[in-house]
Structure 1
Amino acid sequence: MKRFNYKYMIHLFILSVILSTAACQRDSFTASDNIDNQNTSGDVTLYVTSNNRAYDLTKLHLDYSNKFNMSPNTIHINTDVKYQSMEGFGAAITGSTCYNLMQMSKEDRTKFLTETFSENNGFGMSYVRISIGCSDFSLSEYTCWDTPGKENFGLQSEEKNYIIPILKEILAINPNLKIMGSPWTAPRWMKVNNLTNLAPHNSWTGGQLNPSYYQDYGWYFVQWIKAMQNEGINISSITIQNEPLNRGNSASMYMTWQEQQQFIKESLGPQLKAANLNTKIYVFDHNYNYDNIEDQKSYPTKIYQDATAASYIAGAAYHNYGGNKSELLNIHEARPDKELIFTETSIGEWNDGRNLSKRLTEDMKEVGLGTINNWSKAVIVWNLVLDTEKGPNRDGGCQTCYGAVDINSKNYQHITKNSHYYVTSHLSSVVKPGAYRVGTTGYKVDGLEYSAFQNTDGSLAFVILNDLNEGKSVTISDGKKHFSYEVPAKSIVSYKWKN
């Protein structure tokens, strides 16, 4: 009998090694893969990803426990405690992203976009960001009004041939998609080298907006929103300027809080209102540390000091290329009546961006749960799709960035998911627009981070990160039901169940 058990254990060990090796080798997927590869059902739906890809957004199911809960590792969800409502999760649909998607076969592109955006047959990403005019990931440099004279305003070829067709495909899959627009620069003829001598600044890079053109620039925003509406694309929100304290991007414009305050108060706010547009305005759209420019620190709250300007503003947007996410909490505490959203982060050569074993847990900690637990209502990462050569990109912009997914530039078929795709997918798959972040009490340990939500249909969602080198058995209780699951080492697990 002992001999039999010995052989049996050896066989089990060999089988587990084979299965583990096969799982670890599955480091990417093609558009033909099925995200729901588990033919099971249960009370609770889970999505699991581990940093060795043994679990790769794997869909599983659990049943509620019928045993009395005595677990010391219980996390209790309290829906009576409500924090912010959630707007959504997603990525930037840049010119480069659209170009890469257009190189795919129609069948593969539809499959990928369905898996990414469908609320019923995919991960349900629900919020994207596009540029108003060009960005450093556009196919050319342009705005929609490059020649003075209102008759010269118009959507350009990149928008007509790439951005709009892709957005329409996504909207056909998810009609509830929210879209944010952000300019990287005003038209060059509106720019000056500084606000003292007001000399023309005929460059895509740097410069400032000439106050004499505040009204024209407000008109530009309104016309762009209307032009997109005419294409069947509703713009949910805008920011005033991408990275307003960055003078050096390939397309950029410096814009202080004082300038944004006056521009919104004197021009953009009144013009949006007069046009009956309910597009939200978010200010700032830059780093937590305000690029260490002393008089620009607390940029949003300084704008809010003018009550008229503040009345037009929904809130503030942030990136994480400098500073700490705790700044979100500082701004929330200063003005709890204003919203916060997270609108850009990137992975690349500088942070070992294609190394999922390093980036998965770090990016969920900093970008996903970290921003949400500091009152962010949305999480939007940078390029959804770049090719394996990190492009297309522009001189003077980021040439070392990776996409949320990378597509093989030789065949435009083989796709590799990177950390940002997992972060946003884990959130969007269970946390739906309009959900409230709700209270939790109970089990806490260093290395576990989590957040709970209640969706508008009453269902509950829970997202947990295990950054430990061992699995952790966690029991979740909503006060009526409970269930347990061992969260694998170095993994993310998202849960959803009916309340």
Structure 2
Amino acid sequence: MIEGWVTRGAETLLQPLQPAAFSGSSPQDALPTIEVDASRTFQPIEGFGFALTGGSAYLLAGLAAADRADLLQELFGSTDESVGLSCLRLSIGASDLGRTDYSYWDLPPGTADPDLARFDLAAGDPEVVPVLQQILRINPTVKIIASPWSAPTWMKSNGSFVAGSLKPEYYSAYARYFVKYVEAMRGHGIRVSAVTPQNEPHNPKNEPSMVMTATEQAEFIKGYLGPELRKAAPETEILCWDHNCDEPDYPLAVLDDAGARAYIAGVAWHLYSGSAEAMSKVRAHHPAQKMYFTEQWISAQDDFMGALRWHTKNVVIGTLRNWSRTVLEWNLASDPAYALHTPRGAVGALGGVTIGATIKRNAGYYLMAHSARFIRPGSVRVHSSEVDRLPNVACLTPDSRMVMVVMNDADGARRFRVQHRGASATLALGTGDVATLRWNAATAVA
């Protein structure tokens, strides 16, 4: 028996589908069929979530204590009523969705600080750590990936938080900055699972931002960041790239450097351009490398179902079918005016929730409710056949249930079958419907 939940629009959110029974009889019609084969396994799933930006933390911290506790439980809890978020992305220093530009190691001109005595984890966005600690009390296993938008300005070629590059003479100091960050977070009970050397290294227009070529990234990793982290924080992995799917040659160049590759666990990706197939291309060249999808925004101008459909098809289904172990959307929380951003930062970045006089649950929230709630960490992607206009992905969960995220990308309603273990069940989805299906993987009953 297949149980399911469908979203058709703002008035039909995660509504139960009519259960569909499996039958072992041979169907006589020619309905499109999604075949599931649990014997063909792919990557493990490590988590779904958002970026906990400085702005997000500020808004969450501003809620009344009881309201904040309820919302965080709803987002990060493990019950069937919770969304089940299990992964977060943090900025090391400021991101573009915060109140100001800063790093954790800002120094007055001419000041020397070789021991990082002026390192300050509370700089700029002091709400991040306490909000994160509250989240970890709800779910202590949340995976954390951290990325800098910029090095401290005194290390950069242009002395600015925007654009510029890291001066070679500061590679060693910058590597120690990463180590100090990981150690400081550890001191607050927060384990950083992975870091990337630079968010969007080919985007000099954001604020903050910093350019880092593939050659520079490989040199920084193999000569400085890799050795320092392995010595001081071996539990923290390094992911390269952290930018769009239209430039697979960048991570390939970094990974082709054997010295850098020795310290790299995987590749981080965004999808503002290109296609998710780039992840499979890089993995084909370096099969030991893990793929992680780390960012995609939803604009305030996007309509609810248009955003939910695009992100379901391209971010959840598309990246998981191309080896990603995580699905991370951009901002966890926004305010109604989208005011929490740097002067040149993202304008109109819609959060998973909007926090104002009331709390509004947006397309990103329901994207995660259709996926994170059902595909828990430790699940494994399994084979499901590609069917025209029925994009789908299937995962086997740790409790031996099969979960499929599927949508109807056709212009009209569609009936189709799901086939598993020699039995099949017939379902129907309306135009543009986004659905999550679940059944017992061992017996083909819910």
TM over 0.5: yes
Matching residue of 2:47: 88
Deviation at 1:132, TM superposition (A): 0.3
Aligned counterpart in structure 2 of residue 436 of structure 1, from 380, 388, 396? 380
Deviation at 1:480, TM superposition (A): 6.1
Trace 1:309-320 onto structure 2 (pairs within 5 A): 309-320=260-271
TM-superposition CA deviations, 1:198-237 (whole Å, max 9, x none): xxx2211111111111111111111101110111111111
Deviation at 1:47, TM superposition (A): 2.7
User: Structure 1 pair 228/76, CA: closer, same or farther in 2 (3 Å)?
Assistant: same
Deviation at 1:276, TM superposition (A): 4.1
Trace 1:171-182 onto structure 2 (pairs within 5 A): 171-182=136-147
Matching residue of 1:32: none
Check whether the contact 1:49–1:492 (CA below 8 A) recurs between aligned residues. yes
Trace 1:15-54 onto structure 2 (pairs within 5 A): 44-50=2-8, 52-54=9-11
Trace 1:208-227 onto structure 2 (pairs within 5 A): 208-227=165-184
SS in 1 for 2:10: coil
Trace 1:58-207 onto structure 2 (pairs within 5 A): 58-59=15-16, 62=19, 64-65=21-22, 68=25, 70=27, 72-120=31-79, 121-147=81-107, 148-149=112-113, 150-159=116-125, 161-192=126-157, 201-207=158-164
Deviation at 1:361, TM superposition (A): 1.3
Structure 2 CA distance for aligned equivalents of residues 314 and 48 of structure 1: 36
Letter in 2 for 1:155: L
SS in 1 for 2:218: helix
Letter in 2 for 1:167: L
Q: Which has the larger radius of gyration?
A: 1
Could you tell me the TM-score, scaled by structure 2's length?
Answer: 0.91
Deviation at 1:183, TM superposition (A): 0.3
Structure 2 CA distance for aligned equivalents of residues 244 and 389 of structure 1: 29
Check whether the contact 2:384–2:392 (CA below 8 A) recurs between aligned residues. no
Structure 2 CA distance for aligned equivalents of residues 306 and 468 of structure 1: 44
Matching residue of 1:466: 408
Is the helix fraction higher in 1 or 2?
Answer: 1
TM-superposition CA deviations, 1:423-477 (whole Å, max 9, x none): 2321112111122111124x82x32100111123322111101122433233323
User: Structure 1 pair 357/455, CA: closer, same or farther in 2 (3 Å)?
Assistant: closer
What is the RMSD of the two structures over their aligned residues, measured on CA atoms? 2.0
Matching residue of 1:195: none
Matching residue of 2:196: 239
Structure 2 CA distance for aligned equivalents of residues 340 and 158 of structure 1: 31
Q: Does residue 1:371 correspond to 2:319, yes or no?
A: yes
Could you tell me the TM-score, scaled by structure 1's length?
Answer: 0.82
Structure 2 CA distance for aligned equivalents of residues 370 and 73 of structure 1: 20
Deviation at 1:45, TM superposition (A): 4.3
Structure 2 CA distance for aligned equivalents of residues 166 and 467 of structure 1: 38
SS in 1 for 2:274: coil
Matching residue of 2:444: none
Q: Could you tell me which runs of 5 or more consecutive residues in structure 1 were left unpaired when the two chains were aligned.
A: 1-42, 193-200, 291-296
User: Structure 1 pair 68/96, CA: closer, same or farther in 2 (3 Å)?
Assistant: same
Check whether the contact 2:24–2:422 (CA below 8 A) recurs between aligned residues. no
TM-superposition CA deviations, 1:94-150 (whole Å, max 9, x none): 011111212222232222222222122412111110100001111222111112412
SS in 2 for 1:314: strand
SS in 1 for 2:272: coil
Check whether the contact 2:338–2:347 (CA below 8 A) recurs between aligned residues. yes
Letter in 1 for 2:221: I
Q: Could you tell me which runs of 5 or more consecutive residues in structure 2 were left unpaired when the two chains were aligned.
A: 442-446
Deviation at 1:285, TM superposition (A): 0.6
Aligned counterpart in structure 1 of residue 338 of structure 2, from 385, 390, 412? 390
Q: What is the percentage of aligned positions where both structures have the same residue?
A: 33
TM-superposition CA deviations, 1:62-98 (whole Å, max 9, x none): 3644673526444221111111221211111001111
Structure 1 CA distance for aligned equivalents of residues 33 and 437 of structure 2: 15
SS in 1 for 2:117: helix
Letter in 2 for 1:57: L
SS in 2 for 1:327: helix
